Amino acid sequence: MARRPKTGRPRKTTAEQDAAMVAVAKQQPFMPLRDVATSAGAELHPSLVTNRLKKAGLYTFKPCGKLRLLERHKAARLAFATESLQRYDPDFWKNVIFTDEKIFRTDSEGRVRVRRPRGARYEDQYMQAWDSLRANTEMFAALSGSMVKRLQSVVDAAGGMTKY
């Protein structure tokens, strides 16, 4: 018994082209969608490429820019905090200033996206190094005891002060 032809618009891509797009996106997850389509031998709209990659389990996300802490890093930080808490009495901590910072950057690369499976955010091939700094703006807030210190903004155009 033969299948009847489907009604509606025919698919723009073949199964081979879909497989080629998935293979390219897995090899080069930061490649723009138009380039992924071109590498498969087709001129396709980016939303069509996104749909084909989603069906293969590759979703589009903003790349993670910082490495996560390894277990040894977490253990070292916990050991330092525990030792510091035990070493000093509670009155000592009233004179300590606690700070936090937020860094705002301007990057020359614009909107960068990565195609990856869900749950693979911190795998090395899906992370992006932030090397191209044009300007850094840092916002600091400090707390000491119950007193809030003045919020300061520091602009470091060279990017050298907090580069890690």
Instruction: Quote the pLDDT of residue 153.
Output: 39
Residues 41 and 111: their CA atoms lie apart, in Å, by 25
Instruction: Quote the pLDDT of residue 12.
Output: 86
Q: Where do the H-state alpha helices sit in 28-67?
A: 33-39, 46-55
Question: How would residue 103 be classed by pLDDT, with cut points 50, 70 and 90?
Answer: low
Instruction: Quote the pLDDT of residue 137.
Output: 63
Instruction: Quote the pLDDT of residue 22.
Output: 93
Instruction: Quote the pLDDT of residue 59.
Output: 92
- Check pLDDT > 60 for residue 46: yes
Q: Where do the H-state alpha helices sit in the chain?
A: 15-27, 33-39, 46-55, 71-87, 90-93
Instruction: Quote the pLDDT of residue 133.
Output: 46
- Check pLDDT > 60 for residue 90: yes
**Structure tokens that stand for 1 in this block:** 């018994």
